[in-house]
Amino acid sequence: MKIIRSNRKTLSLSVNKEGKPEVRAPYLCPMSTIERFIADHQKWLEKRLASFRTYTDEEIKAMRKEAKAYFPERVAYYALRMGVSPSGVKITAARTRYGSCSPTGSLCFSLYLMDKSPYARDYVVVHELAHLLRRDHSPSFYKIIEKTLPDYKQRIKELKQ
């Protein structure tokens, strides 16, 4: 585990983009305190590390192919229902976000969403399409989502599992 000391007052535990755990600690924090902090957060760390499953090149290629077939179809379906028109759909290998909406209306979806259920994937599609109508995450934004997916809160829970 990587320990990064800096001029800070608190301890923090995170998993970097490569799936490696890191502890950030104050310069003068004793190692025993850091070890106890890690032990106290072991379950959180294990859960987080499990989400960083490594994939073979073949698995990634297969997920990309599946995503390229899945997302344009689902975007077209929900865009019609929501009365919006995205300017494009792209598939990325993003690990830190499942989807995004550019200022020009182009939608991006992570190929890693293919490990989630269609039920959860469709939430991400609707979420990104809703950004074509509202760019923030205000209550009004979630009302747009709720019109299309009344069960969106359950879908979010499933997505986070």
Rounded Cα distance between 128 and 141, Å, is 11
User: Same domain for 9 and 63?
Assistant: no
Residue 87 shares a structural domain with residue 134? yes
Q: Which residues contact 95 (CB under 8 A, 6 or more apart)?
A: 17, 52, 110, 112
Q: Give residue 48's pLDDT.
A: 80
Question: What was the pLDDT predicted at 96?
Answer: 77
- pLDDT, tens digit (0-9, with 9 covering 90-100), for 105-158: 999 999 999 999 999 999 999 999 999 999 999 999 999 999 999 999 999 999
- Single pTM value for the model: 0.74
Which of 98, 74, 96 is closest to 86 using CA atoms?
74
Mean pLDDT score, 56-78? 96
Give yes or no: residues 99 and 39 share one domain: no
Question: Could you tell me the CA-to-CA distances from 114 to 20, 28, 34, 50, 125 in Å, in that order?
Answer: 23, 44, 37, 16, 12
Which pLDDT belongs to residue 83? Answer: 97
Residues 132 and 102 in one domain: yes
